[in-house]
Chains A and B, each alone.
Chain A
Amino acid sequence: MLYGVYEEPTTVAATDIGVLMCYPLGHEYMRSHFAFRRIASMLAKQGIHSMRFDYYGTGDSSGESREMSISRIFEDIRIAVEEFTEISRVTHVSLLGLRFGGLAAGLFPAGKMKIDSVILWDPVVEGAAYLAEMRALHSELSNHPFYVPRGFCDPLEENGKEELIGYRYPTDFLKELSTMSSLEVSACSADNVYIYGSEERPFYQSLRDHFQKHNKLRDYQVIRDAGDWSDLLQADQRLMPSGIPQAILSSALAKKEVRR
């Protein structure tokens, strides 16, 4: 069972546009919950439908993180798109992905599904680099006196699992994640890609150049905003962005037509 929240437009002039939101993983999911809700509310005021959902093993969905897999995540997105279009009757679906959600949204094998656009917010570009970042953060946390006040906390031993900042993942899942790249030539089934970064990073520039080369890039902006994903002191802080949600709203409105 997957948990999701559908938000219908709060204006009379509803559109036939929908945005499906793909969360980050782990502690970043906790950080971003409010931000996604706020964006949903902004979209609703502009007549845009939205849905945010928890992957299997996260949030309120069934299962545990130790059961996750990439194929399951893609299946979850597929189910979420189907559920979303059935409830909302939208004909234009965009995927909004933050961090790992951006990697998943960008690489989602849509098949016969029509995904109009992909909006990538501080996306993970290279799975291996992201994993290295998470491991470094976990190591820092494990040794920080605030988090381990009186001594080192030994992780629970479990074969085939690795613990990263509060969640245990299968090593196979992490191995597959480390091979993923948003720069895969054949990836991204959507024809329109929007990229928003909260800081300038070479990874985002590579992504921009990649989609520009394939004539899919519609917008690229670096807007100094809340993020700081590798900062341990931000790891448990609620994400409160101001500029990027506006940019996301503009990209979602690009296809706006009022539903009659």
Chain B
Amino acid sequence: MRERVVTFGEDKRLVGILCEPDTDQKVSSAPAIIFLNSGLLHHVGPSRLYVELARDISCHGFVSIRFDLGGLGDSLPAMQAKPDMEQILLDAKHAMDEAERKFNIKEYVLVGLCTGAANAHRIAVADVRVVGVCGLSGYAYPTLRFNVYRYGPILLNRKRLWQATVRAWKRFVPTPGKDAAAVNRENTGWWRLPPKDDFVFECKKLFERGVRIFAVFTGGDSYYLYENQLMDTLSSLHPGDKLQEKYNRTADHTYTSVKQRKLLVEQVRLWLTAGFGSSENV
């Protein structure tokens, strides 16, 4: 395995680490793996997850770049910055162009956690070179089964029902000294799901292109309560083996536990090798 620092993009403002396997281990047809920032964290990922992943998959023949979007980590913002998503798409394009320049690879798998997963989805929709998306705690939507799991225990317990009602009242009703705008701001987290119909439509386009999706969720993701919840949302698309899910129930959102992180690395590696490298089953 060999790692080297690369700078690319306009004025070489983007900084990343290229990780490449030893020559005899390289899988020539494999796509390059691009790791996307998780929230405001720099390119090593939460608890160094991306470093561990990159080094692990390099032993199985995959080239990767972990880099910082403009303004994050070690990368500089663009001099003439575009609107957020447009700039992210451009920065990701630079990363993919760099991988193509260095290794003559023209297909990519995007890996991201949380906002990284959201960005991976957006970039995959926009760029036909993306053949795979590994979204860690990405988009997911309530289903009937989710609502039963989520609200059933509350509805069946009078005390919990009362407590939930009081909480909902406090959350949504303006109180003296707090205007409606402030209430709304409190209720609006930084994580916003796109409309479900838009997401389903975009996934349809991705599956039609042959893009493979690996969606992994944790017990720390309150909006996901059972394995295959996303499959239920996308069932009308009949994705088959193009969509795989894993529910790491005892993991927290950023895989703080070393044990959980090792498990995740193995899951991602198995999915990559099954879909894009030598065959092993996930």
Contact = CB atoms under 8 A, between A and B. Distances in A.
Given A1-B3, A5-B74, A150-B250, A155 B47 contact: no
B40 interface: yes
A146 B251 CA distance: 10
A153 B259 contact: yes
A110 interface: no
B275 interface: no
A236 B262 CA distance: 20
A154 B44 CA distance: 25
B51 A155 contact: no
Interface in B219-252: 219-220, 249-252
Nearest to A164: B258
Interface residues of A, number: 30
B254 interface: yes
Contacts of B17: 3, 60
A255 interface: no
Interface in A45-93: 58-60, 62
Contacts of B261: 166
Interface in B168-202: none
Contacts of B3: 1, 60, 62
Interface string B42-78: 1110111001000000000000000000000110000
Contacts of A37: 73-74
Nearest to B51: A60
B249 to A, nearest CB: 5
Contact of B258 (A30, A62, A156): A156
Q: Which of B43, B252, B261 has the most CB of A within 10 A?
A: B252
A155 B258 contact: yes
Interface in B252-273: 252, 254, 256-262
A151 B260 CA distance: 13
A210 interface: no
Nearest to A238: B40
Contacts of B218: 149
Nearest to A168: B258
Interface in B149-182: none
A166 B257 contact: yes
Contacts of B43: 60
A146 B47 contact: no
Nearest to A236: B254
A246 to B, nearest CB: 22
A163 B42 CA distance: 22
Contacts of B260: 153
A42 interface: no
30 contacts: A3-B17, A5-B15, A30-B46, A30-B47, A33-B41, A33-B42, A34-B40, A59-B44, A59-B48, A60-B17, A60-B43, A60-B51, A141-B256, A147-B220, A147-B252, A148-B219, A148-B252, A149-B218, A149-B220, A149-B252, A151-B250, A153-B257, A154-B259, A155-B259, A156-B259, A156-B262, A165-B256, A166-B261, A167-B47, A167-B48
- Which 6 A-B residue pairs are closest in the complex by CB-CB distance? A149-B219, A166-B47, A156-B259, A147-B252, A166-B256, A150-B219
